[in-house]
Amino acid sequence: MSTLVYLEHHEGELQKGALGVLSKAAQLGDADVAGVVVGSGVRELAADAGKFGAAKVFVADDPSLDAPLPQPRVDVLAALVGEHGYDTVLFHASVLSADIAAALAARLEAGLNWDLVDIEGTGDGLTGKRPALGDSVLVDVGWKSAPRLAIFRSGTFEPKETGGPAEVVDVSAQLEEHSTAATMVERAHEESSGPALEDAEVIVAGGRGLGGPENFTLVEELAKALGGAVGATRAVVDAGWYPYAHQIGQTGKTVSPKLYIAVGISGAIQHKVGMQSSSTIVAINKDPNAPIFEFSDLGVVGDLHQVVPKLTELVKQRRGA
């Protein structure tokens, strides 16, 4: 087996999700695990990937690759697969990686399994695990031919430092004419403070029980006091109360912080699947029969408007002391 992992980077850092997939690839026992970094001014990121299990990291470093557009990246990956015969190409879930994986599958006429939450070696092949039926069951999925392409659900694997520096191999980007047709017009960054949802050890998430977008400050203040990030349910995202980037669940992000505080959240299955692997779950809900209490470690039955400000105040006092 030979595995190539796409290592997405932003603002000078390899993405945690991609490093998690790389660590998992290394654990599969495949000696030939390589990463690939594509961009401009990204060469120094490559060696770092060795720590997470890459024996080799290919780097396509060129000013023409600066914009995070998929097609030039597909050219680089397709050339590597063609030249080195990688039989498995793995991606973590992100908008860019999903675009690249889909286009690479079309280019190579390869099978792509997506939304996987695990993968294991079976004989001389691989079997992926994919949640189905509202995440209530896991199904085994496979590939009929190589190369096998897969996208893993975000937050599935933690990066594990197991190795040393990787051999860095420069590759030149031979771009197809159609791959340069798109240009990036503008890049905008959402201003945010505190840790990213995927990395946060503490998440305070708000639901429709907040009653309105203005009450999200209750959640934000508690998250700030705990040094955590803010999450949201789809109900409040769909209502426009909070941005989609904060949505947790089946159609949002999967998180596994040490502490997850659910404020005014009923605990629908589609929300549960995105946060159920949190170490400790605390729910604040006025309905004692809310489903969230069935999978919470600690439940507070009460009006969030009374409970949350007091809790925030207490946390501030304790932390200040």
Ligand X SMILES: Cc1cc2nc3c(=O)[nH]c(=O)nc-3n(C[C@H](O)[C@H](O)[C@H](O)COP(=O)(O)OP(=O)(O)OC[C@H]3O[C@@H](n4cnc5c(N)ncnc54)[C@H](O)[C@@H]3O)c2cc1C
Q: Which stretch binds ligand X (CB under 6 A): 20-28, 98-106, 166-174, 248-256?
A: 248-256
Name the maximum alpha-carbon separation found in the chain. Answer: 63
What DSSP character marks residue 297?
S
Site string for ligand X, 35-64 (x = CB under 6 A): ------------------------------
Cβ atoms 248, 271 nearer than 8 A = yes
Tell me the CA end-to-end span of the chain in Å, nearest whole number: 55
CB of 117 to ligand X, least distance (A): 15
Residue type at 204?
A: V
What part of residues 194-213 is at the interface with ligand X (CB under 6 A)?
A: 207-209
Residue type at 284?
A: I
Choice between 53 and 267, CB closer to ligand X: 267
Rounded to whole angstroms, how far apart are CA atoms 125 and 145? 10
> Burial code of 66-98, b = ≥16 C-beta within 10 A, e = fewer?
eebbbbbbbbbbbbbbeeeebbbbbbbbbebbb
Token reading at 222 = 């508690």
Residue 155 interacts with ligand X (CB under 6 A): yes or no: no
CB of 88 to ligand X, least distance (A): 29
Site string for ligand X, 262-301 (x = CB under 6 A): --xxx-x-xx--x---------xxxx--x-----------
Choice between 82 and 211, CB closer to ligand X: 211
Residues that bind ligand X (CB under 6 A): 207-209, 233-236, 247-252, 264-266, 268, 270-271, 274, 284-287, 290, 303-305
